[in-house]
Amino acid sequence: MTIGRMLLSPRGRIPRFDALFAYACLCAMFAAATLVWVGWVFAYYRRDPLAVLQVMPWVPLGGLGLMMGWMGFCILAKRCHDRNHSAWFLLIGLIPLANLWLLVNLFFWRGTRAANRFGPEPEGMASQWRATNGDR
């Protein structure tokens, strides 16, 4: 699976290690971009501190947040598909304390080993390791 397809399309399946790695990298990139942007905004508007409260300096950060949010949704939807759930399953994350169960379900439990309604078993790093070591 290509990086573009992994980050921009919610279709298909992704193994848990690959999903966890991609999601952690995505969160780290968004945190770094946010720190750089906030630092730039405060440095640029240091002579006029009230200008920082205007909406215009924060519009690019909002656009970046929407883009990263879509990428995160695509990763989580693929992970739901690997667990043989629809992407609607992610709505459980809106319920307090159930969101912790959702994270455990998606990132720590093994996906369906064979093909399911969302496609064949994904070929990730863990699948390749099992194939070479005979742990099927």
The model's pTM: 0.81
Residues 66-79 have a mean pLDDT of 95
Nearest to 105 by CA among 135, 80, 72: 80
8 A C-beta contact, residue 12 and residue 5: yes
The pLDDT tens digits of the residues spanning 19-29 come to 999 999 999 99
Give me the pLDDT at residue 128, please.
59
Tokens 């998606």 sit on residue: 106
- Assigned token pair, 125: 């790093």
The pLDDT tens digits of the residues spanning 37-72 come to 888 888 887 877 777 777 777 888 889 999 999 999
Q: How far apart are CA 136 and CA 118, in angstroms?
A: 21
Collapsing DSSP states into helix, strand and coil, what is residue 91? Answer: helix
Q: How far apart are CA 75 and CA 59, in angstroms?
A: 25
Of all residues in the chain, the percent with pLDDT exceeding 90 is 46
Phi first, then psi, for residue 35 (nearest 5°) are -60, -40
Q: Is the pLDDT of residue 136 over 70?
A: no
